[in-house]
Amino acid sequence: MVEIHLRYDGELRCSATHAPSSRALVTDAPVDNCGRGESFSPTDLVATALGACALTIMGITAQKHAWDLTPLRVRVEKHMIADPVRRIERLVIEVRGGAHLDERARKTLEHAALTCPVEASLGERIVREFRFEWDA
Question: Burial letters for 9-34: b for 16+ Cβ neighbours within 10 Å, e otherwise?
Answer: eeebbbebeeeeeeeeeebbbbeeee
With a pLDDT cut of 90, the percent of the chain lying above it is: 96
How many distinct structural domains can be found in the chain? 2
Q: Is the pLDDT of residue 36 over 90?
A: yes
| Judgement on whether residues 94 and 120 belong to the same structural domain of the protein | yes
pLDDT digits (tens, 9 = 90+) for 64-107: 999 999 989 999 999 999 989 999 999 999 999 999 999 999 99
Ramachandran area for residue 45 (φ above 0: left; ψ -120 to 50: alpha; else beta): alpha
| Judgement on whether residues 28 and 51 belong to the same structural domain of the protein | no
| Judgement on whether residues 88 and 124 belong to the same structural domain of the protein | yes
Q: Is the pLDDT of residue 136 over 80?
A: no
| Judgement on whether residues 63 and 114 belong to the same structural domain of the protein | yes
| Judgement on whether residues 12 and 74 belong to the same structural domain of the protein | no
Contact 79, 28 (CB under 8 A): no
**Whole domain around residue 97: which residue ranges?**
42-133
